Amino acid sequence: MLSDSDPTSVSLNSSPLDCPLPPPPVEVEPPETQKPALPLRPPSSSDEDFFSSASIASSSSSEDTHQNTPAPAQLPPQIPLSWPEGGALSREWVNGLMHCFEWASRAVPPQEFPSVLPVDVFDRLILSGHKILHKERNCVTISKDELNSDSRVVVVGDLHGQLHDVLFLLKDAGYPGDDRFFVFNGDYVDRGAWGLETFLLLLAWKVLLPDRIFLLRGNHESKYCTSVYGFEKEVLVKYGDKGKHVYRKCLGCFEGLPLASVIAGCVYTAHGGLFRSIVTTPVKRSKGKKNRKVTLNPDQTCLTLGSFEELSKARRTVLDPPWEGQNLIPGDVLWSDPSMSPGLSPNKERGIGLLWGPDCTEEFMKKFGLKLIIRSHEGPDAREKRAGMGGMDEGYTIDHVVNSGRLITIFSAPDYPQFQVVLMGFFYLHVCMCPM
């Protein structure tokens, strides 16, 4: 077992983020419905080739669709799981993990989860993932050189602990492999009953294929949200007296999740979206002082969009992204929302992050040669409260259509929240046509 002093451990004593959020919904059994993939119409521009090769798939999480996930075993799988001999994960081991998690979700009470995944196996998996994630840059990239005519990149939105839908998604979209990349936009945990299994399953795929699956951070991968919206309680129930240990290790892994991705140089993805430039002001220093101290310009009336260089320098390894001070970019990337009103302004409704209009989308895309922005962060309940913004019942909505391309919000937790018939959205990208 790992000691609490190892690099995956974090302190639970930091103060929580104090900002308004909607109350967590209650999960119910989803109704039966299904929709086919919906192709995007290309805009009337020279970008037709690019957009004709992108599509959004929408589907339901009904029991009928679960027939495509690994079926419940007639006999229980071999449990408890053990770490593979030699220490390296194999596709067979990851497939076994998926099978065990699916079976246990139906057959094993939460309090008996260690009989499926012992703490020592959890420790090995979380440490392996921790090492990989903390070495990645703030903005990970899938370069055009890594893609060919057969390559597909699947971009996935919020999952919120809906394990069975994740299993269906992987089966439906195709498992990660040589020509199948995945970018997950965060929010793996909270609200759903299987946040731990959802995150660990994707982490296992990350350890197995670190260059084919990319796990970005969502606003729920934080100490504040997990302590309020259910993940901490879920872990404590499943692991009992070892629950705090498991929770600390998960938080340490969350800190290492990258903030954003760029695909083929022309697609930007992040959980919340755009971010500000951090304007600093030199402070007068006494004679003889060699160090030049800088402070954040308190004038927030002159907000401007940030750059990828600034994003690369932000400090992401914090339990809760700050809403004040000099390290605001992580909070912006995780918490910001698009708006139909022009300009860039503080996101007063959330108490952290920004609101940005179509003009900002066009400015950001034009400046960095982007054709598409894919973000997540908002489900149907959030969109119901925002007049003028598109709904999320189809699992996605096109928020901004500008000269350079489009901004799309995608949500991958179907039939969420209670009493809403909502489809799962995930984005197929065949991006070999992106312009150089």
- Helix (H) or strand (E) holding 214, with range, is strand 213-215
Is-catalytic flag, 130? no
Cα dist. 390→240, 384, 393 in Å? 42, 9, 9
Residue type, 37: A
Q: Give the number of other CB atoms < 10 A from CB of residue 385.
A: 10
How far is Cα 406 from Cα 314, in angstroms, rounded to an integer?
26
How far is Cα 118 from Cα 139, in angstroms, rounded to an integer?
33
Contacts of 405 (CB under 8 A, 6+ apart): 43, 47, 365, 370, 371, 372, 373
332 contacts 345 by C-beta, under 8 angstroms:
no
- Helix (H) or strand (E) holding 409, with range, is strand 405-410
Q: Which of 220, 245, 271, 377 is catalytic?
A: 220
- Helix (H) or strand (E) holding 338, with range, is strand 337-338
DSSP string, 82-102: -PPTTS---HHHHHHHHHHHH
Active site residues: 220
